[in-house]
Structure 1
Amino acid sequence: MEKTISTTSTIVASQTQAGTNAIADAQAKSRPQSTLRTYFAMLVQVSRWHLIGVIVVTVLFSLSEGIGIALLLPTLQVAGFNMAGQGEAGKYATRLANAFVSIGLHPTLILLLGVFVTLVGARTVLGQIQSVWMYKVQQDVEHHLRRRLYHAIADANWLFVCRSRATDFTHALTHEIYRIGNGTNLALVFTGEVVLGMLYMAIAFALSAGMTALVLISGAMLTFVFRGRTHAIEEQGEEVSTTNKSLYAATIEHLQSLKAAKTYGAEELNFSIFSALSDEVVRANVDGARQQAIAATWFELGSVMILAVVLYVSIRVLVVPPASILILLLLFARVMPRIMTGQHHYRAFVNSLPSFANLLNIEARCAAAAEPAAHPHDRMSLTRELAAEHISFTYSEGRVAAVKDLSLVIPAGKVVALVGPSGAGKSTIADILMGLVLPDSGTLRLDGRPVGPEGVRGWRDRIGYVAPDTFLFHDTIRANLKWARPDASEDEMLAALRQASVLDFVLGLKDGLDTVVGDRGMMVSQGERQRLALARAFLRRPSMLILDEATNSLDSENEGRVLDAIESRRGELTVVLIAHRLATIRWADLIYVVEGGKVVESGDWSSLSARRDGRFRALWEAQSLTI
């Protein structure tokens, strides 16, 4: 099947990228703020109740730890430590002791230790719940984005899909969404660390407002100083996303072309290309880790310096009592590691945001190219004729038109053939007849009714299509048939197999309809794949069947079986045959000779072959040895 463009072509990918730079630049100007806002809006929309649950459990988890720290002062007092004259720490211990008395409990060492153990146990349970719910939110986000992006890709028009690189879609649906999900988990962990830090700061304020204020002001200054480092980490995240996408694309393309690579002896060339891309991924990831490590190192050093200054000022200037200093040191000793890990988690989350921006970019481009939704009652059938009137079509600006001023008629119930040399535009014409691509000019009419963007889905529901490169899923024959029509009964599947002359083959298999055909149908022969594909097309009960060079790679016996199957439906089914070999279309009711994207001759076999100076006769003579 000739195609003006290939979905995996690097050239097309470059052209597509050039066309989308404006979108990417516009998004880049507003990042990270707009991306962050969009991300959190999506998070709330997708997992609102689980998110609320995570926040509640996180608060309870933090409270259990904070209360455990708060019990330290009355525990010291009960243990015999003199809290008199210890300023706010002594008053705080007395207030907690009075609180126990007010509920009828005398604060003894055993009671306080028992409460502490209970709090630790509750904290353990809450931690388990928190971990599971965070993972649930992460999976909700991944599931939502995966479905949303896949739906956008599937809804995009075929021309847009052809102009795009398929591996970019695959990379976004897998690796990029995984990075976003992991970033979501990091954001939730960071939120928990912020809540716990705020609780610790509240306790610290109760003990020494001056010392705590000094810590917070210094911490804010430290964060301000490191804002440039955070931006650098985000840019590094964009590079990680880009290099991983290139490696992913190369992986898919190289594995798909492995047979050709072996045939051409290009294994080492492919290896060198793949190795270079892998080197780039390693370099980008290591650079990202280096940026994270440098930021963590300087933040830790800055934190230690701040703590030293705060301690000096608290002891020499603010004259904070020793007991308060002791508890504050304990608080800061616990909160500082959390601040550092929180910073690490925040940086890692920021590093994952470019993946979300990339996904939004792809989704926006797909949405801009989306086909109109099909009307539920707008199912079309071919009862009189399908006509193309002065249709022209070009795949992209600056290229030669694939179809030029094309006019032809497909009568209902007839077998119509499109013949011509490779690159003549036959497959593009088939795409236009199916509504996969819309003409730049001219009109496609079905029984006199124009088939516009809003009607193409309803028309395609009535079409059966068999491509030259038949695709079967790595699944059972039954599943492959039901893919075309999920509500088909077993009797209907058997009837379709019989019509395609492949029923005896299927029934002769050990597992019959439940036989797995292998990756792309490689467990069955080419002829059997083609006939299974034909059965799948018949199962749709189509109004029109298009065979796009579907018999070119078959031997004469299998080709004859496929053509016999189509002949058995003559008169009740409109058939469009696209072929190079003229022997396969001898029995067609109407033949169109296509060249340069237009019809140059038409008629039946007898009339066309009788024109000694005609284009069909030239093709006939060129293939005279095989006719």
Structure 2
Amino acid sequence: MRDYFRLLYFAKPIEKFAIPYVFTTLLYILFNTLNLALLAPLLDTLFNSRTSQAIATTAVEKKSWWDIMANFRSVTDYYIHNYGPQKALQFVCLVIIASVFLSNIFRYYSARIMEDLRVHTLLNLRKTVFNNVMNLHLGYFNNQRKGDIISKISSDVQVVQFTVTNTLQVVFKEPVTLIVYIVLLFSISIKLTLFSLLIIPLSGLIIAKIVKRLRAQATKAHETFAYMIGYLDEALSGIKIVKAFNATEYVKGRFHQENVNYSNITRKMVRRQQLASPVSEFLGVMMVAGIVYFGGSMVLTGQSSLTSSEFIAYIAIFSQVMRPAKALSDAFSGIHTGLAAGKRVLDLIDVEPEISNKPNALSIPSFEKAIMFKDVTFAYGEKLVLKNINIEIPKGKIVALVGPSGGGKSTLMDLVPRFIEPQTGQIFIDGIDIQDITVESLRNQLGFVNQESILFNDTIYNNIAFGKPDASMEEVIAAAKIANAHEFILNSENGYETSVGDRGIRLSGGQRQRLCIARAVIGNPPIMLLDEATSALDTESEKLVQDALYKLMQNRTSLIIAHRLSTIQNADLIFVLDKSMVVEQGTHAQLMAKNGLYRRLIDMQTFEE
């Protein structure tokens, strides 16, 4: 129940929708009930079954205000007595047409308001979930399947919105409809209605048993669907590798198996859901049959004062009682499914970002002196990656990180923008602990070019201006020229408005990397973080971009991870990392002279051109 009330929060301001919904629904129920109440007077008029004496007696009787059928009969009797059966029939038909028209008008507005509430709830919920995901630290995504996150934001949220909005029907529309029908039944025959109420709880008990296990099955179905979506995303992302290794049939087989698992669980859940409806309908028919037998016997033997038309009207109204009862059973089964999805969504919302701004964090306008690591240690779980790192990166220097794979180079670089945080030790910028600096102002001082050329399915212009949405065309062109990208952009189909496709698939590897370099350049950051920035470039483009980067790096601090000698040999300072520690440091010439690990790496052609 706690989860439900938390989900209901996303429907706020719910009164904006609930009040008009209640009003239109009440009017719909009123006119819909009126249609049924007119059945007995209509039958009396058609078959002229009431004598003049009965009509005169009815005219004298005092009617209860809630006895709708009796009050309408008195009106039709008046028409029959004064204008004849033909006019009475005409009057009843006109009232039925007007009543049906009004009931459907209010039914439409009621449904429209409910749909507005669904859309409003979905908007708020999906926005909250996505915003929270975007605020999470990078380490969270390393431990989660992307498909599971996508499933929660798309599929699960969609299911949840129906759970929240259907509650209004469960707690208001259907119960009120049921109560109005029962009141109408009591007005016709108290004895018959009491008899029928004795067997309604039996129907509810049986349906409750059917839907009891739905929530557990729904949870399993959502988890399996998320796993299938994750595998689909992996297959599409690695389609080139799949083709290259002739693994198409293997991938097809694995996806088919995931699809079968999901289908089997869904089939079991839907079977149980769909069982509630025919069971409730069958029980309803049994109840109607029982009423027909019990009530019909009373009418035939004269034990009841009901006329034939009243008894037929009673049966017709009682058959309608099962519709809201059936809707309630369907709604409860849907709510169980929705709450299972809601639990998964709320779990994602409840994940707290491990990296956030302190209450009184500072905003730094610029970078002036140095970046310093002091006794920094970092581990992924039990795996130690960095141990007691003490290095200083002075302003305006080009600093390179080299070493064997797994030595901690990328981890050390990720610590600077606070993508991750050390278990022990401190990192300072201009003497200020970066944990005392706002994340936004810290990252404003940094430019990034990753080893992966990550682009978005958008235009070249928007990809370059990604970190500076208000950038002018002149700024974008200037950044593209520095990255040696301007010429190939002009030769593209639509120039800077050319779409790069999903993950930049329409461009070559070198072109993608040059756009990433242009994206880093456009903000003119004082610190550049380059993780194998030229690895995807051909020899000619690499030389041109490298020259541009060196010009850009003048009077700028650059931290580079590289495996190519051409990238690092002109660095002002080189740190060699191995087995979680800095084992050597110095210039290229100094490290070559030491004849240590750095020299061995070059001799093994780890950095060969």
Task: Tell me if TM exceeds 0.5.
Answer: yes
Flag the 1:94–1:296 CA change in 2: closer, same or farther, 3 A.
closer
Check if 1:71 corresponds to 2:38: yes
C-alpha separation between the residues in 2 aligned to 1:395 and 1:469? 21
Structure-1 residue corresponding to 2:197: 216
C-alpha separation between the residues in 1 aligned to 2:152 and 2:239? 24
Q: Deviations over 1:78-104 (max 9, x none)?
A: 5533284999999754434668999xx
Flag the 1:222–1:379 CA change in 2: closer, same or farther, 3 A.
farther
Flag the 1:556–1:370 CA change in 2: closer, same or farther, 3 A.
same
Check if 1:109 corresponds to 2:109: no
Structure-2 residue corresponding to 1:420: 403
C-alpha separation between the residues in 1 aligned to 2:570 and 2:541? 17
Q: Specify which of 95, 101, 122 is matched with residue 71 of structure 2.
A: 95
Structure-2 residue corresponding to 1:38: 6
User: Which region of structure 1 is more displaced relative to structure 2, 594-603 or 329-338?
Assistant: 329-338
Structure-1 residue corresponding to 2:350: 364
Q: Specify which of 2, 7, 21 is matched with residue 54 of structure 1.
A: 21
Q: Specify which of 229, 232, 240 is matched with residue 251 of structure 1.
A: 232
C-alpha separation between the residues in 2 aligned to 1:624 and 1:326? 93
Structure-1 residue corresponding to 2:371: 386
C-alpha separation between the residues in 2 aligned to 1:275 and 1:453? 50
Contact 1:186 1:346 in 2 (8 A): no
Q: Residue 569 of structure 1: CA displacement?
A: 1.7
Structure-2 residue corresponding to 1:456: 439
Q: Residue 416 of structure 1: CA displacement?
A: 0.9
Q: Specify which of 176, 180, 183 is matched with residue 156 of structure 2.
A: 176
Identity of aligned residues (%): 25
* Amino acid paired to 1:72: L
Structure-2 residue corresponding to 1:401: 384
Three-state SS of the structure 1 residue aligned to 2:368 is: coil
* Amino acid paired to 1:198: I
Structure-2 residue corresponding to 1:158: 138
Three-state SS of the structure 2 residue aligned to 1:405 is: strand
C-alpha separation between the residues in 2 aligned to 1:509 and 1:229? 61
Check if 1:351 corresponds to 2:337: yes
C-alpha separation between the residues in 2 aligned to 1:570 and 1:296? 71
Structure-2 residue corresponding to 1:522: 505
Structure-2 residue corresponding to 1:16: none
Flag the 1:101–1:211 CA change in 2: closer, same or farther, 3 A.
closer
Q: Specify which of 479, 484, 504 is matched with residue 467 of structure 2.
A: 484
Flag the 1:550–1:307 CA change in 2: closer, same or farther, 3 A.
same
Q: Residue 466 of structure 1: CA displacement?
A: 0.7
Contact 1:527 1:558 in 2 (8 A): yes
Q: Residue 623 of structure 1: CA displacement?
A: 2.3
Structure 2: gaps (5+ residues): none
Q: Deviations over 1:92-119 (max 9, x none)?
A: 54434668999xx999432332222122
Flag the 1:183–1:93 CA change in 2: closer, same or farther, 3 A.
closer
C-alpha separation between the residues in 1 aligned to 2:408 and 2:466? 29
Flag the 1:74–1:305 CA change in 2: closer, same or farther, 3 A.
closer
Flag the 1:547–1:91 CA change in 2: closer, same or farther, 3 A.
closer
Q: Deviations over 1:109-162 (max 9, x none)?
A: 323322221222223333333333322222222221111111111111111222
Q: Deviations over 1:413-449 (max 9, x none)?
A: 2111111111111111111011110100000111001
C-alpha separation between the residues in 1 aligned to 2:77 and 2:304? 31
* Amino acid paired to 2:363: D
When the two structures are aligned, how many residues end up with a matched partner?
Answer: 588
C-alpha separation between the residues in 1 aligned to 2:217 and 2:600? 61
Q: Deviations over 1:164-215 (max 9, x none)?
A: 2221111111111222234456555555443333322222222233433443
Q: Say what the alpha-carbon RMSD is for the aligned residues.
A: 2.9
Contact 1:474 1:521 in 2 (8 A): yes
User: Which region of structure 1 is more displaced relative to structure 2, 296-305 or 281-290?
Assistant: 296-305
C-alpha separation between the residues in 1 aligned to 2:358 and 2:185? 59
Q: Specify which of 298, 316, 339 is matched with residue 325 of structure 2.
A: 339
Contact 1:435 1:456 in 2 (8 A): yes
Check if 1:143 corresponds to 2:106: no
Q: Residue 294 of structure 1: CA displacement?
A: 2.9
Flag the 1:368–1:414 CA change in 2: closer, same or farther, 3 A.
closer
Flag the 1:463–1:524 CA change in 2: closer, same or farther, 3 A.
same
Q: Residue 315 of structure 1: CA displacement?
A: 5.3
* Amino acid paired to 1:457: E
Flag the 1:202–1:503 CA change in 2: closer, same or farther, 3 A.
same
Structure-2 residue corresponding to 1:82: 50
Q: Deviations over 1:287-333 (max 9, x none)?
A: 12221233333333333333344444545678361343222211122
